[in-house]
Amino acid sequence: MGETYEERGSRFDGAIVWTRQLPGGPARPVLPDGCIDLLWTDGRLLVAGPDTHAYVTPAAAGGLFTGIRFAPGTAPALLGVPADELRDRRVELSDLWPAAQVRVLAERVADAADPAAALEDLALRRAAGAAPPDPLIRSVVRQLAQGRSVAATAGSAGLGPRQLHRRSLAAFGYGPKTLARILRLQRALALVQAGRPYAEAALAAGCADQAHLAREMRELAGTTLSAYCEAPANSETAQPSGSSTTA
């Protein structure tokens, strides 16, 4: 049986609930998307931090992975950890929260008829007692996702470049320029997936030209446009928002 992937919108604002079944052996890479994931697999609760490059699940890691993917900037308040402490990392949730509490939560998810729904409930309960996402940060994400420049976004938010960079590190795990690059790549990949020609998708997404998009693919995604287009429809490399998994 091959790899399968499913996702749906979450009751947690802006989040996606997903499941991924891996058969074992080499797995397709997960592309950067600016998000942080809370995930459950093999009785463990883990956090996948924001990536700056494609993440490849270790070859031996097969099995079922269930996760909730939080929109950029929304997870740090829920987790109680600045995003830059999680950048390019996969960590046990017990490293962030009390181990006894996490053990109870993991058992609750494991015993649930629908682990994905149980994981979503966990996030919603936690969010009820946490500070809401900063509306200014959400505005920054929205503007960058629309292709607005970092300078214009900072000006609109009433922040200086250093202020925006500092707040972006805590919210996204990296500066606004990196987030803008990742969101632009995601826009381009969505257009390519929809059937737009490479050059047209590159310009529409905000790249200077097709060669610019090709460089971004190599640097951020670790693959080429051709490999992306040839990937099966259920692979993470063939989805604008890839879910994060770990061993």
Domains and CATH numbers, the chain: 1-247 (1.10.10.60)
pLDDT value at residue 73: 95
CA 186, CA 237: separation in Å to the nearest integer?
11
Q: Which residues pair with 69 in a beta bridge?
A: 16, 37
Q: Which helix (H) or strand (E) holds 126?
A: helix 115-128
pLDDT value at residue 226: 85
Counting beta carbons within 10 angstroms of the beta carbon of residue 112, is it exposed (0 to 12), middle (13 to 18) or buried (19 or more)?
middle
CA 28, CA 35: separation in Å to the nearest integer?
18
CA 17, CA 229: separation in Å to the nearest integer?
24
Low-confidence ranges of the chain (pLDDT < 50): 233-247
- For residue 231, give the 3-state DSSP assignment: coil
pLDDT value at residue 232: 52
pLDDT value at residue 228: 76
Q: Where are the beta strands (DSSP E) in the chain?
A: 4-9, 16-22, 36-41, 44-48, 63-70, 90-92
Structure tokens given for 118: 């149980």
| Residue 36 CB coordination number (10 Å) | 28
| Residue 21 CB coordination number (10 Å) | 16
